[in-house]
Amino acid sequence: MKEFGLALAGCIVLGLTTAALGQDKVSQEKLIGTWQIKEGIVVEFTKDGKMKLTAKVEDRTVSFDGTYVLNGNKLTTTVKQGGKEQKEVSTIKKVTDEVLVVEDMSGKTQELRRKTK
């Protein structure tokens, strides 16, 4: 089960950190908040550089804490789970009040939607 958690965290982090943006600089204020990656998987970015990934897996919820650094349009995320640290760098393609588009290092683009309460 520990391997599953690491694999899930890796996929989520990879998806987030593969961002490529049409802008040179992204405002951290636009990034702060909770974003839905896909059904049952969300990531929250806080103003103090912390992040939390939460995924519903079958009948339970799995969470991973991490940090992020935004430099221009490059988003570096670091997640620790089970004593292992996963660090990824993505490029933010677009960020608005409602949509965050990131591209990973392999060129895969993912669109996240801001989650409202």
pLDDT tens for each residue of 80-103 = 878 889 999 999 999 999 999 999
What's the pLDDT at 22?
A: 47
pLDDT value, residue 60: 93
Q: What is the pLDDT of residue 12?
A: 58
Q: Give residue-wise pLDDT tens across range 43-81.
A: 999 999 999 999 998 889 999 999 999 999 999 999 987
Q: Is pLDDT at 18 greater than 70 in this prediction?
A: no
Question: Look-up: residue for tokens 């987030």?
Answer: 16
Give me the amino acid identity at 117.
Answer: K
As given in the structure block, the two tokens for residue 5 are: 């958690």
pLDDT classification of 15: cutoffs 50, 70, 90: low
pLDDT in the model for residue 17: 44
pLDDT band for position 10 (cuts 50, 70, 90): low
Q: What's the pTM value of the predicted model, to 2 decimals?
A: 0.77
Q: Give pLDDT, residue 108.
A: 94
Q: What is the dihedral of CA 38, 57, 8, 87, to 10 degrees?
A: 80
Do 92 and 101 meet the contact criterion of CB atoms below 8 Å apart?
Answer: yes
The candidate with the shortest Cα–Cα distance to 16, out of 49, 50, 47, 42, is: 42
Predicted pLDDT of residue 4: 47
